[in-house]
Structures are given as C-alpha cells and as structure tokens.
Amino acid sequence: MEYRQGSINRIFTVRFDDGDDFLGELTRLIKKEDIRTAWFHVIGGMRQAGVVTGPKEPVMPPEPVWREIDEARETMGTGSIFWDEKDEPKIHLHAALGHHGDTLTACVRKGTKVYLILEVIILEVTGIDATRPWFEAGGFNRLTFQ
C-alpha cells in the first residue's frame, strides 16, 4: 500500500443532458479546466455504455468481460481522474446500473450516452503528485505516486 495526503481545491458541479456523450464531454471538461487529480460522483441515468463486469479469471493481466448496455439504466457511481504518461486524462469509473430492479455493477469504459440527466460533482485534489501510467504486468493504467 502507498498513500499521500492532499487537500480539496476546486469543486465542479456538472449536468449532462439526454444523449450527451458522458465520457467524451467529461474528458473535454477535464482538459479545459486542467483537472489533474480528482474524485467524482455521478447520479442519474445512462442509456448506453460499454462496461467491464470483471475479469474472466483472477489472473494478471486480466481478460476483461465486456457487456454493452443499450437500455435506460439508473446510474450511481464514483470515479477518479489522473493523467497518464502521454499527458492524457484517465478516467476510472465504477457504477451501479439498474433496470427494472436488476442491477449491474461495472467499470464504465466507452460509448456512454446519458439518459435524461446525469449529475456529477468533481472534487479536485491538490498536494498529491500522482499519475496513472500503463502498468504492463497488470495490463491496465495503475495509480502511481511520484
């Protein structure tokens, strides 16, 4: 385990509307505001997303199990923002996606479209020098302290 202590800096409250590309718009906001380190929470709805529901087997690197969401789903999740070695933001979001009483918990990765509204609060953190570079042995971008 490793850890660092920081402080909350800016706080952003963001509304995404029906049909918005959630991950695309979030990435644009992160770049525009130069949010380098942050945690965020989402609540609302998604109508479309490519998600990973876990590894096929518990090995490294893992083989992800993909699932496509293509229906309105109530959404609640939390995520983090750190940048990679190519100076691009990396968003890591885990969310519970519910539909008619059935809930799927997954890592939200691509192809996201908002259903009705998605509200997000972003808590920017300062005082922590960290990135999310590619971790070859694990096959994923891993949080790394500088």
Q: Which of 77, 83, 71 has its CA nearest to residue 34? A: 83
What is the CATH number that goes with domain 7-145?
3.30.1330.80
CB 124 within 8 A of CB 37: yes
Q: What is the pLDDT of residue 17?
A: 98
Residue with tokens 């929470």: 41
pLDDT in tens, 53-62: 999 999 999 9
pTM attached to this predicted model: 0.95
> What is the arithmetic mean of pLDDT over 69-89?
97
Mean pLDDT across the chain, nearest whole number?
97
CA distance 18 to 10: 26
Domain boundaries, given as residue ranges, for the chain? 7-145
